[in-house]
């Protein structure tokens, strides 16, 4: 391949990468923020993810771009954790989930769910969920990820995400209905 043909091919790859990946930045940042718990760390994680994705973009099959990017992010984040604390990886990952660790938002649910204008009954119902159920609700219902994307982030099967989400929504619904009955009486 001549130098000029290589440059044209690289320009096309750059344009395709920008066109396809840039719209995913808000989702990548939200997930990175949830994983790291800090804005600066999230920005670094997104940047590292984009560099790795760019380097491998010519090998990407074109299907499920968001899931591919989230997989790169999750793997890179886990590798960073292993380097820092190889024996405490699972504890460190668990500490980064919503509702756990030093970066926990109010009772572990995304801060949008705890704004002053958000119904206190809903806040209480979400806060009563287990960590694994809150994580799924936060990723799917608050961050807008698909089941597949949430499964990639949590490193669980899609069926597990669906099951946890169904149970979590049922628990929240039951709590809210119970509260409604109490308010009527």
Predicted TM-score (pTM) of this structure:
0.58
pLDDT in the model for residue 40: 92
Spatial distance between the Cα atoms of 139 and 97, rounded to a whole number of angstroms: 10
pLDDT tens profile 65-87? 988 998 899 889 888 887 776 55
* Residue ranges per structural domain of the chain: 1-96, 98-185
Architecture of domain 98-185 in this structure:
Orthogonal Bundle (1.10)
Do 98-185 and 1-96 fall under one CATH topology?
A: no
pLDDT in the model for residue 28: 92
Instruction: Find the Cα–Cα–Cα–Cα dihedral 109, 71, 30, 155, rounded to 10°.
Output: 0
Mean pLDDT in the chain? Answer: 78
The mean pLDDT of 79-97, rounded to a whole number, is 59
pLDDT in the model for residue 125: 86
Q: Using CB atoms within 10 A of its CB, is residue 69 exposed (0-12), middle (13-18) or buried (19+)?
A: buried
Contact call for residues 25 and 44 (beta carbons, < 8 A):
no
Q: Please tell me which of 9-13, 46-50, 65-69, 112-116 the model is most confident about, judged by mean pLDDT.
A: 46-50
Does position 115 have pLDDT exceeding 70, yes or no? no
Q: What is the CATH T-level fold of the domain 1-96, as seen in this structure?
A: Rna Polymerase Sigma Factor; Chain: A (1.10.1740)
Contact call for residues 96 and 37 (beta carbons, < 8 A):
yes
SS (H, E, C) 4-63: HHHHHHHHHHHHHHHHHHHHHHHHHHHHHHHHHCCHHHHHHHHHHHHHHHHHHHHHCCCC
Distances, alpha carbon 69 to alpha carbons 7, 80, 123, 127, 128, in Å:
25, 16, 31, 30, 31
Tokens of 182: 């109490």
């Amino acid at each position: 391949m001549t130098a000029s043909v290589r440059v044209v091919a690289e320009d096309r790859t750059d344009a395709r990468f920008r066109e396809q990946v840039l719209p995913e930045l808000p989702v990548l940042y939200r997930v990175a923020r949830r994983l790291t718990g800090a804005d600066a760390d999230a920005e670094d994680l997104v940047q590292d993810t984009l560099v790795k994705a760019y380097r491998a973009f010519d090998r990407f099959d074109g299907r499920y771009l968001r899931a591919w990017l989230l997989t790169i992010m999750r793997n890179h984040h886990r590798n960073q954790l292993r380097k820092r604390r190889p024996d405490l990886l699972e504890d460190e990952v668990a500490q980064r989930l919503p509702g756990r660790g030093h970066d926990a938002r109010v009772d572990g649910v995304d801060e949008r769910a705890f704004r002053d204008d958000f119904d206190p009954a809903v806040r209480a119902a979400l806060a009563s969920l287990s960590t694994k159920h809150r994580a799924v609700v936060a990723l799917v219902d608050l961050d807008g990820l698909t089941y597949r994307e949430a499964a990639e982030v949590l490193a669980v099967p899609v069926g597990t995400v669906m099951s946890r989400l169904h149970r979590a929504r049922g628990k929240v619904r039951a709590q809210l209905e119970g509260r409604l009955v109490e308010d009527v009486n």
